[in-house]
């Protein structure tokens, strides 16, 4: 069991680490990252922290900021691939989801139509 003095020293050391970190930086928990078959590690894992990253949206071209907190959520909570980065802003991501859902719906309708309609070769004896 630790003494109160040891606990205070540990807390003080943790607070110091937090104070030394610049704004827009979140520490990486490597144990929570999704396993990857690669031999190397991405830059953020080597550094030991996530850092705010600017990017340009692929669809609309607007400059955006992928924050360290968003990166931590993507890599550690959602278990996203460690080699991916943000390429679309939030409104464009939502539009892309709607577009893909509509394409899936149309595709499924086409498959259902094929199943209902008998093929012409089946009618010939």
pLDDT of residue 123 exceeding 70: no
Cα separation, 108 vs 99, whole angstroms: 14
> Between these two residues, 23 and 46, which has the higher pLDDT value?
46
Please give the pLDDT value at position 39: 86
How far does CA 80 lie from the centroid of its chain? 4
49-104: pLDDT as tens digits: 999 999 999 999 999 999 999 999 999 999 999 999 999 999 999 999 999 999 99
pTM (two decimals): 0.67
pLDDT of residue 43 exceeding 80: yes
104-115: pLDDT as tens digits: 999 999 999 988
**Please, which residues bridge with residue 63 across strands?**
56
**Please, which residues bridge with residue 54 across strands?**
65
Coil, strand or helix at 54: strand
Are the CB atoms for 54 and 89 separated by under 8 Å?
A: no
Please give the pLDDT value at position 21: 61
8-34: pLDDT as tens digits: 888 888 777 666 666 678 888 888 898
Over residues 31-57, mean pLDDT: 89
Please give the pLDDT value at position 20: 62
Please give the pLDDT value at position 40: 84
């Amino acid at each position: 069991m630790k003494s109160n003095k040891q606990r205070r020293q540990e807390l003080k050391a943790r607070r110091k680490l937090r104070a030394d970190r610049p704004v827009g930086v979140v520490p990486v928990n490597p144990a929570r990252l999704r396993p990857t078959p690669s031999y190397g590690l991405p830059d953020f894992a080597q550094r030991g922290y996530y850092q705010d990253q600017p990017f340009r949206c692929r669809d609309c071209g607007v400059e955006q900021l992928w924050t360290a907190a968003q990166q931590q959520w993507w890599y550690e909570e959602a278990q996203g691939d460690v080699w991916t980065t943000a390429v679309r802003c939030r409104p464009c991501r939502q539009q892309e989801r709607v577009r893909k859902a509509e394409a899936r719906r149309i595709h499924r309708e086409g498959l259902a139509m094929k199943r209902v309609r008998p093929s012409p070769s089946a009618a010939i004896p």
